[in-house]
Amino acid sequence: MAVPESIRRRVEVLRKEIDYHNYRYYVLDSPVIPDVEYDRLMEELKRLEAQYPELITPDSPTQRVGAPPAKEFRQVRHAIPMLSLDNVFDEAGFRDWDRRVREGLGQEEVEYAGEPKFDGLAVSVLYRDGLLVQAATRGDGYVGEEITNNVRTIKSVPLRLMGEGWPRVLEARGEVYMPKSGFERLNRELERRGEKTFANPRNAAAGSLRQLDPNITAQRPLDIAFYGFGLVEGGRLPERHSEIMDRFREWGLKSARERIVVRGVEQAVAYYRRMLERRDQLDYEMDGCVFKVNRIDEQERLGYTARAPRWAIAYKFPAEEAITRVLDVVWQVGRTGALTPVAKLEPVHVGGVTVSSATLHNIDEIRRKDVRIGDWVWVRRAGEVIPEVVRVIVERRPADARVVELPKRCPVCGSEVIKPEGEAIARCTGGLYCPAQLKGRILHFASRRAMDIDGLGEKLVDQLVDRGLVKDVADIYYLTKDQLLGLERMGEKSAQNLLEAIERSKRTTLARFLYALGIREVGEATAATLARHFGSLNRIMSASEDELMAVPDVGPVVAAQIRAFFRQPHNLEVIDKLKKAGVHWEEGEPQQGPKPLEGETFVLTGALDSMTREEAKERLEALGAKVSSSVSRKTSYVVVGHDPGSKYDKAKALGVPTLDEAAFLDLLAQAEQGRPLD
Ligand code: IVH
């Protein structure tokens, strides 16, 4: 049955439209119709082609996928060899290349085209009469592998050139790469399916392109950037590289968006620096910039060496990844006691600097990556980021490689290390005693809601610890005026003020003191509850986990932390030293009955100076009070801060007692010491 002319025409129109929308979407990144509409066009074309198979042509947009797997790759001889590029690794090398070019051309200044050096796979794509007829890898530069059906699946590669004016034979050359985002998606998917993941986008691109089954390639997020040409017959290209790339784009052959034309070496260097800075923000991996003499006639005058053109150079970025050996794994202790494993490496040049250590994040990460001491590993340093071990080269693992164990004792202070079930972070329990944790601990200890030592801020704490004047929080109480006067920016007056603040802080409450100790999981509310429940420090220190768990809000995790803290002899020493220095509080009988504010309802209105609304609520609730958002006759107290709202008026109207901030703080203090309200 003959195909009706109207159908033939419709098929032609559909193909033109789909090609155009492909171009808008994949080449220009600026689609002009929504995806559903595109899908509708594609569906219609597929339906017509199914109905009239004689209409199917190889360049039809329906024909990107579906080719059967090949048994092997056919070899293709490149009509014009695909040469490589010479590299330079620093500015001196680049300026040297510029000098040679200028001398070669006898010019003061040369016009260059600058573009990203894509980290992918070089391919040659041959168009005959505008139709894609062959694609090949670079191979050894002379003979490559035929990968036409694979390249056809890359959406940004036109099966048929657009526009007009292209040569009858045009061999476009470019780089197939995998965008970083697509690479991450692919690896996640492979991992989910339990398959082997790719080490980096370049390997992923190579692995995807060199697939005997093009249907697999079709599912991989590959993209292309054209950067040059090979064979050209039956037509002419413009006189400049940059203009050729502009024409390419009109024909649907995508090139780097970040291309530029510069005059002279200074502008070229500036472009390189800009691209180096932008590197991490781009969705493709680039390993440098390529500079080309822009005028084709000048390129021809310069010619080629045996392996590379004289008119182009790859000015490489510092490599972001390198291979080296793990010499040891040490554990660093941070301010919160968190232990972070750090790989000590055989020094290696990566990301523009010499790297001799890299973070391994935590023990779970070490297990997941299976990093062992003695292993060969890939390390990565991108931008300003801390270097990290990316993965192990298991194939090169020496027989005596040692498994990394989480230390049982803190490498800094020797205290026990604990890693709560289900948490990634292991911590030192050395608390107040561990110097690594000291600075953070001191700041917490001195903070307003803890011991409230006015003026003991970060700068001062740094100095005190760095000079060895304070080795544990108790040392604060043994500081002398002379010692303080020896510190930076410390005059007579501020030294005196600080000493007075330290002196004042000695008189405290058990709840504050407990909170100040900085036991993990013991926040202000828990400290208050503990203080009230046990009444004395000794009773808390000798309580078993079961006894601790009898306290409202104390579960097994909190109880374990409290026990671990008081098991450490160092912590006990520091507490002793604090008491000897004169830190004191009123102790009382255990109060295991109702909490002091049980049955009372509070309403908060306006802002408080000494705490946030949230903090006030937590403290009240820890004391057993209810905090409500509306005032009624049943409300016990309305706490009135600055700029109170209508709740204040309502309280007055209903005759509900109000507390200003000072009265509220008195009430809290009284209740937190377990004393009934007056
Ligand atoms: S021009 C005759 N431009 O780098 C020179 N190459 O190290 C042809 N590459 O084999 C190459 N981006 O695979 C050129 N913008 C770019 C490039 C680029 C990546 C690759 C290409 C080449 C290799 C040389």
493 is catalytic: no
CA of 454 to the centre of ligand 1 (A): 64
Among 117, 292, 316, 595, which one carries the catalytic annotation?
A: 117
Distance between CA atoms of residues 55 and 78, nearest Å? 32
Element (H, E) at 493: helix 492-505
pLDDT of residue 336: 77
CA-closest candidate to residue 64, choices 74, 76, 72, 56: 56
| Prediction pTM value | 0.61
Element (H, E) at 511: helix 510-516
CA of 227 to the centre of ligand 1 (A): 7
Question: The dihedral of CA 437, 440, 446, 450: what is its sign?
Answer: negative
CA of 175 to the centre of ligand 1 (A): 7
Q: Which of ligand 1's atoms lies nearest the C-alpha of 256?
A: 15
DSSP annotation string for 220-261: S--EEEEEEEEEEESS---SBHHHHHHHHHHTT----TT-EE
Q: Which of ligand 1's atoms lies nearest the C-alpha of 116?
A: 15
Tell me the pLDDT tens digit for each residue of 223-257. 999 999 999 999 999 999 999 999 999 999 999 99
- Long-range contacts, 403-411 (Cβ 8 Å, 24+): 403/372, 404/329, 404/341, 404/363, 404/366, 404/371, 404/372, 404/373, 406/339, 406/363, 407/331, 407/339, 410/333, 410/337, 410/339, 410/434, 410/436, 411/330, 411/331, 411/333, 411/339
Task: Output the residue whose Cα is nearest ligand 1's atom 12.
Answer: 117
CA-closest candidate to residue 221, choices 204, 237, 245, 198: 204
Pocket of ligand 1 (CB under 6 A): 83-85, 115, 117-118, 122, 138, 175, 227-228, 290, 309, 312, 314
Which residues have CB under 8 Å from 215's CB, separation 6+?
65, 66, 67, 69
Task: Output the residue whose Cα is nearest ligand 1's atom 13.
Answer: 122
- Give pLDDT < 50 ranges for the chain: none
Which residues have CB under 8 Å from 95's CB, separation 6+?
265, 269
Element (H, E) at 192: helix 180-192
DSSP tag of 199: S
pLDDT of residue 403: 96
pLDDT of residue 229: 97
Q: Which of 80, 85, 294 to mutate to test the pocket of ligand 1 (most atoms within 8 A of CB)?
A: 85
Q: Which of 78, 202, 227 to mutate to test the pocket of ligand 1 (most atoms within 8 A of CB)?
A: 227
Q: Is 354 helix (H, G, I), strand (E, B) or coil?
A: strand
CA of 209 to the centre of ligand 1 (A): 17
Q: Which two tokens stand for residue 237?
A: 């290209």
Task: Output the residue whose Cα is nearest ligand 1's atom 3.
Answer: 227
Task: Output the residue whose Cα is nearest ligand 1's atom 16.
Answer: 117
CA of 117 to the centre of ligand 1 (A): 6
pLDDT of residue 63: 87
Q: Which of 80, 137, 175, 255 to mutate to test the pocket of ligand 1 (most atoms within 8 A of CB)?
A: 175
CA of 84 to the centre of ligand 1 (A): 7
Distance between CA atoms of residues 576 and 574, nearest Å? 5
Domain architecture of the chain: domains with CATH: 5-64 (1.10.287.610), 87-316 (3.30.470.30), 321-403 (2.40.50.140), 435-580 (1.10.150.20), 601-672 (3.40.50.10190)
Q: Which of ligand 1's atoms lies nearest the C-alpha of 117?
A: 12
CA of 293 to the centre of ligand 1 (A): 14
Distance between CA atoms of residues 44 and 48, nearest Å? 6
Q: Is 481 helix (H, G, I), strand (E, B) or coil?
A: helix
Q: Which two tokens stand for residue 137?
A: 């890898």
Q: Which of ligand 1's atoms lies nearest the C-alpha of 82?
A: 2
Q: Which of 78, 118, 293, 316 to mutate to test the pocket of ligand 1 (most atoms within 8 A of CB)?
A: 118
CA of 261 to the centre of ligand 1 (A): 17
CA of 414 to the centre of ligand 1 (A): 55
Find the length of the chain: 678
Q: Which of 88, 117, 140, 307 to mutate to test the pocket of ligand 1 (most atoms within 8 A of CB)?
A: 117
Q: Is 117 helix (H, G, I), strand (E, B) or coil?
A: strand
pLDDT of residue 376: 93
CA of 85 to the centre of ligand 1 (A): 6
pLDDT of residue 678: 59
Task: Output the residue whose Cα is nearest ligand 1's atom 18.
Answer: 117
Task: Output the residue whose Cα is nearest ligand 1's atom 15.
Answer: 117
CA-closest candidate to residue 283, choices 493, 118, 41: 118
Token pair 């100040």 is found at 516
CA of 86 to the centre of ligand 1 (A): 10
For residue 628, how far is the Cα from the chain centroid?
A: 41
Task: Output the residue whose Cα is nearest ligand 1's atom 21.
Answer: 122
